[in-house]
Amino acid sequence: MASCTALSEVLQGEVSHDKFTRMLSKGVLNSKKVWQETKAICEEIRTDEAVLIIDDSVEEKKYSRCNDLIQWHFDHTEGRSVKGVNFVTAIYNSWEMSIPVGVDFVRKEEKYIDKKTGKEKLRSSISKNEMFRELVLRASRNTSFKYVLSDSWFCNSDNMNFIIEKCNSNFIMAIKQNRKVALSAQDKKKGKYVSIKELELEKCVLSVYVKSLEFPILITKQVFKNGDGATAALYLVSNDLSLSYEQMTTIYKKRWKVEEYHKSIKSNTAFSKSPTKKQHTQQAHFVASILAYVKLEKLKIKNNRNHFALKAIIRASATKAAFRSYQQLNYKKVA
């Protein structure tokens, strides 16, 4: 259990559990705090090839009471709605390190009537696409990166235009295969569009136009083979017309780092284990877990071991210490 009482006991009472509780309830652990803690690292690892990765995730909290923060969200990895926290993170990736530089939480505080069912439901007053743009803007003001990487959820003209015009950056995004493009500026003016599934794109790039963009973009197709022999296609788009197929696909592979981040905070930093019940203390625990991930990322570089290996070493050391304590208690003479 990740609790203030347990932490106080680990520190042998040097800091009371009440002090930890007050810290969590003050609201100081937020996205601003994440950047304060990671700014120096980002400066140290900054390179011309750095990228910013944006993605969201849902962590189940099925035993927690619903509030604006803990609500029902559709989890695409589960294919169903789960009760939990939905959060969007900006990851700065450079020099073999993936550092969170901002995080926003989806809060469903707005009531509305569903037109299909007529039932009252809850939704967030701020969309995840608005969160996406705010995270990219904040990151662009704080540090520098060459590309913004995202999955198809955030691939829309508003986000593309925003990245170029407001953040002075480039993007490489996955795009849904049901989208249509024009093969030339003339075709776009005539309204002549074709499905991207009809394009010959394997291992090559093509300059195309989409309806809501005034500039051309590159598109390519990457084909993957599954273990059973079946194939799957990933379509990518970018505003950087100088990219080759190899460059485009290689850079986009870095997006996987955000999945490693999600897996680590959920498995290694007790992201979902908080017993807190109030929204601000719940958020504070989530942010503290993200900061714990940053410490693991620093240890990864120093020790050349991944987060799970580091956790195994720490757990083994803790188990040995517990066993020594047991032996001392077991052989202690009764007065």
pLDDT tens-place string over residues 240-256: 999 999 999 999 999 99
pLDDT for the residue 19 = 67
Kindly state whether residue 175 falls inside one of the protein's structural domains: yes
pLDDT for the residue 16 = 73
Nearest partner of 292 among 317, 266, 316, judged by Cα: 266
| Helical H segments across the chain, by residue range | 4-10, 17-25, 31-45, 128-142, 157-165, 185-190, 245-252, 256-268, 279-303, 307-330
pLDDT for the residue 65 = 94
Q: CATH code at 257?
A: 3.90.350.10
pLDDT per position as a tens digit, 12-42 = 677 776 666 666 677 688 999 999 999 999 9
Say whether pLDDT at 10 is over 90: no
Say whether pLDDT at 78 is over 90: no
pLDDT for the residue 21 = 67
pLDDT for the residue 334 = 52
Kindly state whether residue 225 falls inside one of the protein's structural domains: yes
Residues in a beta bridge with 92: 52, 99
Question: Could you tell me the residue range of the domain that residue 280 belongs to?
Answer: 4-301
pLDDT for the residue 228 = 78
Say whether pLDDT at 6 is over 90: no
pLDDT for the residue 132 = 98
Q: Which amino acid is at 326?
A: Y
Q: pLDDT higher for 11 or 319?
A: 319
CA 43, distance to chain mean position in Å, is: 20
Query: Distance (Å, rounded) from C-alpha 140 to C-alpha 26?
Result: 28
**How many domains does the chain contain in total?**
1
Kindly state whether residue 272 falls inside one of the protein's structural domains: yes
Kindly state whether residue 312 falls inside one of the protein's structural domains: no
Range 260-288 average pLDDT: 92
Kindly state whether residue 172 falls inside one of the protein's structural domains: yes
pLDDT class for 231, splitting at 50, 70, 90? Answer: confident
pLDDT class for 326, splitting at 50, 70, 90? Answer: confident
The 3 state secondary structure assigned to 182-216 is ECCHHHHHHCCCEEHHHCCCECCEEEEECCCCCCC
Q: pLDDT higher for 235 or 226?
A: 235
Range 308-325 average pLDDT: 92
Kindly state whether residue 323 falls inside one of the protein's structural domains: no
Range 288-311 average pLDDT: 96
The average confidence (pLDDT) of the chain is: 92
Say whether pLDDT at 335 is over 60: no
Kindly state whether residue 38 falls inside one of the protein's structural domains: yes
Kindly state whether residue 230 falls inside one of the protein's structural domains: yes
Q: Which amino acid is at 201?
A: L
Flag the least confident range among 19-33, 62-76, 156-170, 313-327: 19-33
